[in-house]
């Protein structure tokens, strides 16, 4: 960026040059958005991010190991019960109910087939607390992991689903659910909402497959993501989150995620009276502002810079979704933009 200025000894009239004004607006807006983004990350330490990454990797390895275990005599004895509530926002997890396992035994089961190594200590130098069931599988408590955070002290064994806002907070996952996690960065919230909505949508169609005498795929007219046309949510039938959870939990979901990454309630539609009808099911996130932009949507994407946009999934596909541009925007200026911006001060 090139700056041209007058010598200090020169005298100039006070005036606002158009190009200078444009640069000032761009700079202030960009710094404002950057400040908001960094503010969301300010309370999350590198150690917390590392711990969550390590916990995620071991969780995946434990899940892979469990899938490969054959316990035919015990499959029917696994309790089909949620961990402590059908809605994730009201769920509690009793970590003490999960079977304990030593680090040495866990490595014996997982290394090297499922993971190259199982970290014994968290980033603060304290042992991770691993839990993993084995045959016979009894109950719904299968796998879990936690760290006590910077202070090394667990707050207890019973946890609610919530964000951890300080370095001393316990980080907890159970049955592949993030129970106590750090806040999502601003630019991760749309992708996370899309993943959550897709998982709920898949669970709905799995429920339909098991409920209908015929496979719903091919019977239900499914939208094509990004295709032309509109979707009117007024034509769909609202279903309460608890009613939907009663259908899906625990067979198809461990609990129903009922709040989006911005903390706003997800909205659900499912027509139980006409499950082969044209407007069967839909899910909506209201975005960062928590306000609906209407009920009639043009099918297609929107710029990922706009965090207030609604995300909408209907009848098998997303009809309103962020563009998959891979860029994070600062007031419309892409991080990947190759243009050279020049501000000239006359």
Distance CA 119, CA 22 (A): 51
166 and 194 share a domain? no
284 and 161 share one domain: no
169 and 67 in a common domain: yes
Pair 155, 208 in one domain: no
- pLDDT, tens digit, 9 for 90 and up, residues 150-161: 999 999 999 999
Please tell me the distance from the alpha carbon of residue 298 to that of residue 231, in angstroms, as a whole number.
7
Shared domain for 111 and 240, answered yes or no, is no
Tell me the CA distances in angstroms from 346 to 13, 216, 233, one per residue in order: 11, 67, 54
Residue 172 lies in a domain: yes
Same structural domain for residues 193 and 168? no
Instruction: Give residue-wise pLDDT tens across range 279-318.
Output: 999 999 999 999 999 999 999 999 999 999 999 999 999 9
Q: Answer with the one of 125, 147, 181 that is the final residue of a domain.
A: 181
For the cut 80, the answer to whether the pLDDT of residue 41 exceeds it is no
Residue 162 lies in a domain: yes
Q: Could you tell me if residue 90 is inside a domain?
A: yes
Range of the domain at 70: 46-181
> Which residue has 């795929």 as its token pair?
217
Task: Check whether residue 133 and residue 191 sit in a common domain.
Answer: no
Answer with the residue of higher pLDDT: 16 or 194.
194
Question: Which CA distances in Å does 184 have to 49, 156, 296?
Answer: 11, 24, 29
Whether the predicted model's global pTM rises above the 0.85 cut: no
Q: Is residue 37 part of a domain?
A: no
Nearest alpha-carbon partner for 335 in 193, 191, 190, 187:
187
Same domain, 249 and 313: yes
In a domain, 138, yes or no: yes
- Looking at the structure, tell me whether residues 260 and 168 fall in a common domain: no
Same domain, 236 and 310: yes
Domain count, the chain: 2
């Amino acid at each position: 960026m090139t700056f041209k200025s007058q010598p200090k000894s020169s005298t100039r009239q006070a005036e606002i040059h158009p190009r200078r004004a444009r640069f000032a607006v761009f700079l202030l807006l960009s710094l404002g958005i950057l400040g908001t983004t960094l503010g969301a990350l300010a309370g999350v330490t590198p150690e917390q991010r590392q711990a969550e990454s390590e916990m995620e990797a071991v969780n995946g390895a434990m899940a892979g190991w469990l899938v490969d275990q054959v316990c035919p005599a015990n499959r029917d004895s696994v309790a089909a019960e949620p961990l402590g509530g059908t809605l994730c926002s009201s769920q509690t997890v009793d970590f003490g109910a999960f079977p304990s396992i030593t680090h040495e035994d866990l490595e014996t089961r997982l290394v090297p087939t499922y993971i190259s190594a199982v970290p014994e200590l968290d980033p603060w130098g304290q042992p991770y607390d691993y839990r993993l069931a084995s045959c016979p599988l009894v109950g719904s408590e299968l796998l879990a992991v936690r760290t006590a955070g910077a202070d090394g002290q667990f707050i207890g064994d019973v946890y609610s689903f919530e964000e951890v806002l300080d370095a001393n907070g316990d980080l907890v996952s159970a049955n592949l659910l993030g129970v106590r996690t750090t806040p999502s960065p601003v630019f991760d919230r749309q992708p996370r909402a899309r993943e959550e909505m897709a998982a709920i949508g898949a669970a709905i169609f799995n429920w339909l497959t098991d409920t209908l005498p015929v496979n719903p795929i091919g019977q239900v007219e499914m939208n094509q993501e990004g295709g032309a046309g509109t979707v009117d949510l007024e034509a769909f039938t609202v279903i309460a989150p608890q009613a939907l959870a009663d259908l899906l939990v625990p067979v198809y979901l461990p609990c129903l995620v009922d709040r989006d990454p911005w903390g706003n309630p997800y909205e659900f539609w499912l027509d139980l009276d006409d499950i082969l009808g044209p407007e069967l099911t839909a899910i909506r996130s209201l975005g960062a502002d928590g306000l609906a932009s209407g009920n009639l949507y043009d099918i297609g994407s929107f710029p990922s810079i706009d965090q207030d946009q609604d995300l909408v999934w209907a009848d098998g596909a997303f009809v309103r979704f962020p563009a998959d541009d891979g860029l994070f925007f600062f007031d419309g200026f892409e991080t990947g933009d190759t243009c050279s911006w020049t501000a000239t001060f006359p």
